[in-house]
Structure 1
Amino acid sequence: MNDPDAQSSPASDAGAAPAMPLRLLLRFTDTAYEQRFVKHYIAFYFRYVQASLVLGVVLILGDYLVDHIAYGSVESNLLRLTLAFPVLLAGLGYTLLPDARRHWQPVMSGFIITAAFFLFYTLTRIDAEGGEGLRSWVGVLNFTFLQFYCFVILGVQFRYALASGLIILLAFEYTLWQHAGLTTREAAYWSYHVLTLFILAAGIGWWREYLLRKEFVARAALDDSRAAAEQRALRLAHYDEVTGLPNRRLFAELAMPVIERARRGGTGCTVLHLEIDRLSGIHHVYGRGEGDAALADITQRIRLCIRSGDLPAVGQAGENTRVVARLGDNAFSIMLTDLDSQERASLVAQRLLVAVAQPVLVDAQPLVLSASIGIALFPGDARDFTGLMRCAEQAARAAAEAGGAQHMFFDEALNARARDRVLLETELRQAIRVGQLCLYYQPKVDVRDGRIVGAEALVRWQHPRRGLIPPGNFIPMAEESGLIVPLTDWVLHAACGSLRRWADAGLPSLPLSVNLPASSLSDARLLDQLDALMQRYELRPSCLMLELTETMLMRDVTSAISVLERLRAQGYGLALDDFGTGYSSLNYLKRLPVSELKIDRAFVIDVARGGRDGALAAAVITLGKELGLQVVAEGVETQEQSEFLSVRGCVLQQGYLHSRPVALGEFEAMLRAKAA
């Protein structure tokens, strides 16, 4: 399949035709357009020519019979059948040839002129032998018929009919005036008669072709616009609009015959699946236009890496051994039929990584991107196109999860992990529906007196076969698959249900923290959903602490601040989780309406040893206190860590030193014990 851009649009051929001057009556200036005109009308006129030739044969035969009956002794009458009659039969035979339509008008002009000269000769001989040739109205009618014959049969291209008619007219006039036996008056009379009919026939032919050409201009414009629309539809269906590369559908059409030839020939081929890391960030920050410009630049580099010259489009499947296609926003696939070893494929992947890593200008700023490449080999990894694509995509996903900016080859371990991931996603969807999830609670302790001043609700998955699955094994998958929304809904309902249960049991009232995913702040349902939960479970908003990470807040700071201010105004507690591991912008921190700051466990692990971790933890504690925030330390596991933090003013702590996350019944027992 050819790239539509590589073909000249049919509309371009007709561009000059509607603006034609009087030459429109004889010929379009564009040769290709003229050929389209002839081809459009030739189907009708060709059959008409054949019928007219048969009619000419019948008329000549009729003239012969009439003259034979009236002047039986005129031997020259037989010349009609021996001269003009065979010429018309030859013309009829020519129309039956396979290629007759290509040059039928000039050839038929020759047949008609030849038949006319034979008739001149025949009628002149008839007059010499005492018959009625040119002296009779029947003889003149023969030439009148020939004139109309030219303009009717050859009417698609008027210039052929005009030239043929003029030749016949001049030949007739010459014969008429030079023919012995006609007086000057008779010759003048017949000349006037034939000339008048010639002008009439030429006018009819001229006007008919003028109308035909005007009609064709309008018809061609409509056809060209339709063809242009079909061409665009074809391009949209098979090519990516931004890069001009084949899309997934066309890539499959081109790749499958290549794989089939490799299978028959016993050779190998390779599929490389390339994904640009963090390309979506450019779209979010700089807009779609700048992102598409960067993508076009990267596309050009990929093309040049794969071929020695630019690869503007893909030709026929059998003509190219290297095909580049764009399959998604940041994904490309490349099929190479001349690579059948890991070593050579690795060299190509390295060139691609280097090409993508070159700085790209976005909004006049140089940015450096990276790529993750997965490689699948035929026939080792898969024996069909679908399998090769799946293997290459799995390898690319593994390369991205390993940090990106690298390439990986497919192996069965990746396939097993991918199958397990798909199975786990299906099971998680069912787990949310049938109630296999549960909440564990980790106390938040005031180390000055050991009181439980709050707790964090942590979701767990009680799998019927796999046992208790920690959140780190399914939360990232839920975020990627879109299951994080129903999962968060379940957690909020379960947390509010626990608060209501504790209040009904007379247990101490304390705030319960719930982690919100990044998608929650952009969910217009969040405020209404929380209000509905407060009404359903008869709770005050202050009993619910919503924890958000600084990384998710930085995606859209202005919008996030607006949502948080409304939550804070309604009385919900807001905590900034994992502080120090993301952007840590003090400018944003002072604007965020949070009431609690949580020190990430990464700064707590080595805090007792002093050094930089201790200095950073102390700085965060001081910063939080100065901003009027409640500071909580996560991941406290040793007494030394706890004492270091408490001495510096961080008395609210979470961690295994005080308690692991425990199930609902065990946590309620802890509350009762503390209350007692």
Structure 2
Amino acid sequence: MRASDAPPAGGHDACNAPVLPLRLLLRFADAAWERRFVAHYAGTYFRFAQASLLLGLSLIVGDYLVDCLAHRAGGANLLRLTVAAPVLLAALAYSLQPRWRRHWQPVMAGFIVTAALCLFVILVRIDAEGGSGLQTWVGVLNFTFLQFYCFVVLGVQFRFALVSGLAILAAFEYALWAHAGLSPGLAAYWSYHVLTLFVLAAGIGWWREFLLRKEFVARAALDDSRAAAERRAQRLAHYDETTGLPNRRLFAELVVPALERARRSGTGCAVLHVEIEHLGKVHEAYGRGQGDAVLAGIAQRVRSLIRGGDLAAVEQAAERPGVLARLGDNAFSLLIADLDCQERASLVSQRLMAAVMQPVTVDAPAQPLQLSASIGVAMFPGDAQDAAGLLRCAELAARAAQGAGGGRHQFFDEALNARHRDRMRLESELRQAIDGGQLCLHYQPKVDARSGRIVGAEALVRWQHPVRGLIAPGSFIPLAEESGLIVPITDHVLHAACGSLRRWADRGLPALPLSVNLPAVSLADAGLLERLDALMQQYGVRPERLVLELTETMLLRDVAAAVELLARLRARGFGLSLDDFGTGYSSLSYLRRLPMSELKIDRSFITDVARGGRDGALAAAVITLGRELGLQVVAEGVETAEQSAFLLARGCTLQQGYLFHRPLPREQFERLLEGQRTHAIEAQAGA
């Protein structure tokens, strides 16, 4: 669609079609649509009008030559050539000037009427000189042609053609009755024929323009819908639909000229990456719609801060105080121009955090929520030289601010960059480790502290790095949870644990229950039960030999779903252990509902248990609680004889910790089991 066909400022679409009444003087009720119609067809019909002007000139010259040959016409014939032809030439010259085309229909109508009046005078003089003027059928044919010619030249906009045709008809009737010298009957006869032809020409012209306008309405509606779709696609490609802010793509485009101006002027800029914290909980609690409304409100609040004098006062000379964009589900990025020191960037960050922390009202139920933000700041040109680099640095700094507890801002430095590179390298190596068989299991025994006999074990994953050596789980499990690698790691651990149980059974070693830690994502895995059943069949292991350990925090995220899943696991015979009990938001009502078989006291309560005090009281209470609920209680992290004696005195016989054994590779753990089996055989033989 050409620029002239673009929708007017008010905007029209197919649902708001213009009014096109079936009336004699065709015109859209909407002036904007009328301008669009004229602009759309003017270019095409102007060329027809120019061609018609050339045709008119050729006919006038041809008539002059024919009259010269047939009648040896005198002054009247020459007058036609010297008067009418210049009028048409002037009209043609007017049509060649683009600046003069604004009102071309009425102007062209004026030229045609002028030429027609000149021809009337000339034809009357031709009759007076004995030529073929108005007194013959040739003259009538000339005027009939003039009426049709009027509609052809004017092209579009019937009302101007009608006015011109009426003027020509009036002039013809005047000349026919007053100057042609015809009898009344003959004048009436010619008038009837000319009037009939005029009505026919006017009807054809009216109907042609009516069809043109109907066709234009359909075409304009199609063009408008296509243009609206293109504008929407363009907006979706560059703007966020929820907040109306630029997206990452448009933000990068807007940042480039700002950085170029800063580079030329020698000033600095700052890119701030704002991570809204705990917004996911709003989505979970109130639904996606309410969460998006909260996000849009925060975006409007931050945008107002950018446009307001509070932020602009940081640098009065800035032409544009900031460019704000949404770069993720809960992230915004902001470019502040002419901001070349960390003190000012820190001031802006504090104001942004204060704006985010203002209470947000959720409609259903109506209650205020208070969120917080972590902000990462990257300075130009010190931290990076381009938009992509600044965004990356700001995001790294925001992530570091979140890791430090959130609700703060942090500037980018090379140490963050180095840690990020190390993290990316470690993640890549971890992916290779999963596929390359570098993960292995170590086994920490669970011991009956009264006899020292091993009664169970916990499988702990280790990473045998080819360069870094043995890596403890605390160094890579959090990374695996963030990157989604925890799922294949869990599958590997379950396979290895079931394989160990099968191996021990085949070697005749004691049939001990083996505990495996499940991550939080396993509770949301709909295929967990089927995979566990498949493992039991694959390795020929009884479910009661596999104990699944889950932390208290994991279970309390969705108690109803957790209870349902655990009940199905218990029904299949799997052991269930509640790990790290007491470190989360413990609730006795929740504990009563959970179908657990084992309760593990967290090591944080064991460290100072021998001294008595609150830790001792809490440990004793957990032991009593577990015993009353029929749960097997295990104390983990036992490192001294005093701790073990205290727990034994309170009835906790199952203990796990460095006092007894560290986590051992499979071969060493199996040697322990072999020794325990041999000792048991010898004891039976001695008895």
Q: How many angstroms apart in 2 are the aligned matches of 1:145 and 1:100?
A: 28
**Paired position in structure 2 for 1:84:** 84
Deviation at 1:570, TM superposition (A): 0.9
Which letter does structure 2 place at the counterpart of 1:238?
H
Deviation at 1:409, TM superposition (A): 0.7
What is the CA distance between 1:366 and its match in structure 2? Answer: 2.2
How big is the shift at 1:353? 0.9
Gaps of 5+ in 1: 1-6, 312-317
Residues 317-356 of structure 1 show CA distances to partners (whole Å, capped at 9, x for unaligned) of x985521111111111111223222111111111111111
| 1:359 paired to 2:362 | no
CA distance in 2, matches of 1:94, 1:13: 36
For the residue of structure 2 that corresponds to 1:354, the secondary structure is: helix
1:551 is matched with 553
Q: CA shift at 1:387, angstroms?
A: 0.7
Instruction: Report the alpha carbon displacement of residue 25 of structure 1 after superposing the two structures with TM.
Output: 5.4
Alpha-carbon distance change, 444 to 16 in structure 1, aligned in 2, over 3 angstroms: closer
Q: Distance in 2 between matches of 1:73 and 1:205?
A: 36
Is the partner of 2:328 in helix, strand or coil?
coil
* Distance (whole Å) between structure 1 residues aligned to residue 547 and residue 246 of structure 2: 50
Equivalent runs, 1:110-149 vs 2, <5 Å? 110-149=110-149
Residue deviations 1:224-252, cap 9 Å, x none? 22222222222222221111111112222
- 1:152 corresponds in structure 2 to 152
Which sits farther off after the overlay, 351-360 or 658-667? Answer: 658-667
Given that 1:14 and 1:30 are in contact with CA atoms closer than 8 Å, whether structure 2 keeps it comes out as no
Bigger mean CA offset, 374-383 vs 599-608: 599-608
- Residue correspondences, number: 664
Does the CA-based 8 Å contact 1:372-1:405 persist in structure 2? Answer: yes
Equivalent position of 2:3 in the other structure: none
Equivalent position of 1:503 in the other structure: 505
> Does the 8 Å CA contact 2:8/2:32 hold for their aligned counterparts?
no
Query: How far apart are the structure 1 equivalents of 2:461 and 2:104?
Result: 85
**Superimposed CA distance per residue, residues 294-328 of structure 1 (whole angstroms, 9 cap, x where no aligned partner):** 111211111122221999xxxxxx98552111111
User: Greater shift after overlay, 22-31 or 294-303?
Assistant: 22-31
Aligned pair in 2 of structure 1 residues 9, 604: CA closer, same or farther (>3 Å)? farther
Q: Give the counterpart letter for 1:341 in structure 2.
A: C
Counterpart position of 1:238? 238
Asked whether the 8 Å contact 1:10–1:227 carries over to 2, the reply is: no
CA contact (8 A) 1:439 1:459 kept: yes
- The aligned counterpart of 1:614 is 616
1:600 corresponds to: 602
Give the aligned partner of residue 267 of structure 1. Answer: 267
Match of 2:544 among 527, 542, 561: 542
Aligned to 1:417: 419
CA distance in 1 between counterparts of 2:23 and 2:378 reads: 63
When structure 1 is superposed on structure 2, of 541-550 and 192-201 the one drifting more is 192-201
- Structure 1 residues 79, 8: closer, same or farther in 2, change over 3 A? closer
Structure 1 residue 58, shift from structure 2 partner? 0.9
Question: Offset at 1:361?
Answer: 2.4
User: Which residue type is aligned with residue 505 of structure 1?
Assistant: R
Query: Match of 1:325?
Result: 325
Q: 1:384: how far off?
A: 0.9
Q: Distance in 2 between matches of 1:223 and 1:424?
A: 54
Q: Aligned partners of 2:370 and 2:596: how far apart in 1? A: 34
Structure 1: distance between partners of 2:260 and 2:158:
54
In the aligned structure 1, how far is the partner of 2:146 from the partner of 2:320? 58
Q: Is the 8 A contact 1:151 1:158 kept in 2?
A: yes
Counterpart position of 2:399: 397
8 Å contact kept, 1:57–1:85: yes
TM-score under structure 1 normalisation?
0.93
Match of 1:673 among 672, 675, 679: 675
Q: How do 1:300-449 residues align onto structure 2 when only pairs under 5 Å count?
A: 300-308=300-308, 320=320, 322-362=322-362, 363=364, 364-449=366-451
SS of 1:111's equivalent in the other structure is helix
Aligned Cα root-mean-square deviation (Å): 2.3
Check conservation: 1:14, 1:33, Cα contact below 8 A: no
Q: Matched residues in 2 for 1:44 and 1:230: separation? A: 26
Q: CA offsets, 1:605-639, max 9 Å, x none?
A: 23333333233222222221221111112222223
The offset of 1:442, in angstroms, is 1.3
Deviation at 1:260, TM superposition (A): 2.5
Quote the residue 1:481 is aligned against: 483
Contact 2:46/2:155 (CA < 8 Å) preserved in 1?
no
In structure 2, what residue type is equivalent to 1:280?
G
Aligned counterparts of 1:369 and 1:507: Cα–Cα separation in 2? 56
TM-superposed CA distance for 1:414, in Å, is 0.6
Residue pair 2:88, 2:111 contacting (<8 A) in 1 also: yes
What residue number does 1:74 align with? 74
* Partner AA of 2:133 in structure 1: G
**Per the alignment, do residues 22 and 57 of structure 1 end up closer, same or farther by CA in structure 2, a change over 3 Å counting?**
same
Q: Which moved more, 1:449-458 or 1:402-411?
A: 449-458
SS state at 1:650 partner: coil
Name the amino acid aligned to 1:556: D
Between the aligned partners of 2:100 and 2:14, the Cα distance in structure 1 is 26
Whether contact under 8 Å (2:427, 2:480) holds in the other structure is: yes
Going from structure 1 to structure 2, the CA distance change for 1:361 and 1:625 (only over 3 Å counts) comes to: farther
Retained in 2: the 8 A contact 1:599–1:632? yes
Superposition deviation, residue 488 in structure 1: 0.6
SS in 2 for 1:103: helix
**Correspondence 1:558-597 to 2 at 5 A:** 558-597=560-599
Match of residue 196 from structure 2: 196
Which shows bigger deviation, 552-561 or 271-280? 552-561
Unaligned runs of 5+ in 2: 1-6, 312-317, 680-687
* TM-score, normalised by the number of residues in structure 2: 0.92
Q: Which residue of the partner structure matches residue 314 of structure 1? A: none
Distance in 2, matches of 1:193 and 1:327, equals 77
Q: Whole-Å Cα distance in 2 between the matches of residues 414 and 555 of structure 1?
A: 32
1:219 matched residue in structure 2? 219
Aligned residues of 1:240 and 1:247 also touching (Cα < 8 A): yes
Q: Distance in 2 between matches of 1:290 and 1:237?
A: 24
**8 Å contact 1:275–1:373 — kept in the other structure?**
yes
- The one-letter code sitting in structure 2 at the alignment partner of 1:479 is E
Partners of 2:222 and 2:310 in 1: CA distance: 35
Separation (CA, whole Å) in 2 of partners of 1:390 and 1:430: 25
Letter in 2 for 1:219: R
Shift of 1:394: 0.6
Once the two structures are overlaid, the 10-residue window that deviates more, 318-327 or 425-434, is 318-327
The match for 1:30 is 30
**Further displaced range: 558-567 or 319-328:** 319-328
Q: Which moved more, 1:547-556 or 1:637-646?
A: 637-646
Residues 487-527 of structure 1, C-alpha deviations (whole Å, 9 max, x = no match)? 11111111112222222232222111110011112222222
Question: Following the alignment from structure 1 to structure 2, what is the Cα–Cα distance between the partners of residues 581 and 127?
Answer: 120
For 1:258, the aligned partner's letter is A
Distance in 2, Cα, partners of 1:570 & 1:359: 48
- Asked whether the 8 Å contact 1:76–1:126 carries over to 2, the reply is yes
* Distance of aligned partners of 1:501 and 1:272 in 2 relative to their CA distance in 1, 3 Å threshold: same
Deviations 1:585-613 (A, max 9, x none): 22221111111111222222233333332
**For structure 1, which segment, 608-617 or 420-429, has the greater mean C-alpha deviation from structure 2 after superposition?**
608-617
| CA pair 221-367 structure 1, distance change in 2 beyond 3 A | same
- The answer as to whether partners of 1:268 and 1:339 remain within 8 angstroms in 2 is yes
Distance 1:197 1:511 in 2: 109
Tell me: CA distance 1:25–1:554, structure 2 relative to 1, closer, same or farther (3 Å). Answer: farther
Instruction: Indicate conservation of the 8 Å contact 1:454/1:511, yes or no.
Output: yes
Match of 2:664, SS state, is coil
Q: 2:661 aligns with which of 616, 635, 659?
A: 659
Q: Which residue of structure 2 aligns with residue 626 of structure 1?
A: 628
SS at match of 2:444: strand
Gap change, CA 1:206 and 1:554, over 3 Å in 2: same
* Structure 1 counterpart of 2:128, one-letter code: A
User: Secondary structure of 2:135's match?
Assistant: coil
Residues 4-48 of structure 1 deviation map (CA, whole Å, 9 limit, x = unaligned) = xxx978862665544433359511111221122223323332221
